[in-house]
């Protein structure tokens, strides 16, 4: 299993500039500018790859998810609206949906063969208001905090957040008593709140 990724928060000015650059690049990609696509790949791929590895727990599948993500970005950039969603969140939403599709496919394959192994949305990312959008530096802080949780608590939290599993579904997926799942999620949330409070989040 890949090691947890620890990413230092970016300075706010750098994060803002990267966001502005990405908005321009998405507009250019929408005009079928392949150089802009390459530039956006260099800008966001390392960060998105870290997220994909974290979700999929498999480097090779994460790299495939990144390739699929940028293919979809190429085809959908003309639909991007900077007034509805930040550029990074829009790209992240595409990646997240691709990763979830991979997890569900793998899960179905393994369940159909009599094995159980861990791990919605539609293809297109839903518009999000700026008040609900995490900046890149905030996302890094949250991801670092999650990586510090014990593996059993982190696993429950990931299933609840990434796949929106119910407590009962998590219990079934991990073959863990329902009460234990609820306790792990409660402890995970309490620890996260304490860690994030140090960053005034």
Q: How many angstroms separate the CA atoms of 53 and 168, rounded? A: 26
Instruction: Look at residue 140 in the predicted model and tell me its pLDDT.
Output: 67
* 34 domain residue, yes or no: yes
Instruction: Look at residue 25 in the predicted model and tell me its pLDDT.
Output: 94
Residue 86 has pLDDT above 70, yes or no: yes
* 102 domain residue, yes or no: yes
Comparing 164 with 188, the larger pLDDT belongs to 188
Q: How many angstroms separate the CA atoms of 201 and 198, rounded? A: 8
174 CB-near residues (< 8 Å, 6+ apart): 118, 155, 156, 159, 181
In the chain, pLDDT over 70 holds for what percent of residues? Answer: 72
Q: Among the listed ranges 1-15, 20-34, 103-117, which one has the minimum average pLDDT value?
A: 1-15
14 CB-near residues (< 8 Å, 6+ apart): none
Instruction: Look at residue 68 in the predicted model and tell me its pLDDT.
Output: 93
User: How many structural domains is the chain composed of?
Assistant: 1
How much is the pTM? 0.53
- pLDDT tens-digit map of 150-163: 888 888 888 887 66
- Residue 16's domain comprises 12-120
* 32 domain residue, yes or no: yes
Band (pLDDT 50/70/90 cuts) for residue 7 is: very low
Length of the chain, in residues: 201
Kindly report the CATH number assigned to the domain that includes residue 99.
1.10.1740.10
* 57 domain residue, yes or no: yes
- What is the residue-averaged pLDDT of the chain? 76
SS (H, E, C) the chain: CCCCCCCCCCCHHHHHHHHHHHHHHHHHHHCCCHHHHHHHHHHHHHHHHHHHHHHHCCHHHHHHHHHHHHHHHHHHHHHCCCCCCCHHHHHHHHHHHHHHHHHHHHHHHHHHCCCCCCCCCCCCCCCCCHHHCCCHHHHHHHHHHHHCCCHHHHHHHHHHHHCCCCHHHHHHHHCCCHHHHHHHHHHHHHHHHHHHHCCCC
Q: Among the listed ranges 48-57, 151-160, 163-172, which one has the minimum average pLDDT value?
A: 163-172
* 141 domain residue, yes or no: no
Q: Is the sign of the CA dihedral 145, 102, 97, 118 positive or negative? A: negative
* 18 domain residue, yes or no: yes
Q: How many angstroms separate the CA atoms of 147 and 50, rounded? A: 12
* 77 domain residue, yes or no: yes
Q: How many angstroms separate the CA atoms of 139 and 148, rounded? A: 15
Q: Among the listed ranges 30-44, 78-92, 156-170, 174-188, which one has the minimum average pLDDT value?
A: 156-170
Q: Are 146 and 201 in contact (CB under 8 A)?
A: no
* 184 domain residue, yes or no: no
- pLDDT tens-digit map of 107-145: 666 555 544 444 333 333 444 444 344 455 566 677 777
Band (pLDDT 50/70/90 cuts) for residue 6 is: very low
Residue 45 has pLDDT above 60, yes or no: yes
The arithmetic mean of pLDDT across residues 24-45, rounded, is 93
Instruction: Look at residue 1 in the predicted model and tell me its pLDDT.
Output: 37
Q: How many angstroms separate the CA atoms of 181 and 170, rounded? A: 7
Band (pLDDT 50/70/90 cuts) for residue 189 is: confident
């Amino acid at each position: 299993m890949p090691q947890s990724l620890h990413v230092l928060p970016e300075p706010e000015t750098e994060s803002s500039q990267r966001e502005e650059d990405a908005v321009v690049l998405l507009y250019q990609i929408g005009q079928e500018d392949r150089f802009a696509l390459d530039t956006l790949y260099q800008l966001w791929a390392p960060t998105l790859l870290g997220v994909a590895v974290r979700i999929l727990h498999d480097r090779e599948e994460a790299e495939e998810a990144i390739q699929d993500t940028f293919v979809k970005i190429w085809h959908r950039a003309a639909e991007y609206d900077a007034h509805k969603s930040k550029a990074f969140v829009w790209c992240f939403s595409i990646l997240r949906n691709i990763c979830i599709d991979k997890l569900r496919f793998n899960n179905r394959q393994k369940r159909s063969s009599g094995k159980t192994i861990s791990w919605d949305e539609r293809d297109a990312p839903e518009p999000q208001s700026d008040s609900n959008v995490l900046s890149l530096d905030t996302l890094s802080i949250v991801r670092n905090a999650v990586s510090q949780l014990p593996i059993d608590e982190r696993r429950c939290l990931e299933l609840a957040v990434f796949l929106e599993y119910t407590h009962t579904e998590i219990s079934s997926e991990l073959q863990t008593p329902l009460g234990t799942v609820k306790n792990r999620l409660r402890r995970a949330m309490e620890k996260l709140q304490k860690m994030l409070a140090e960053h005034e989040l």
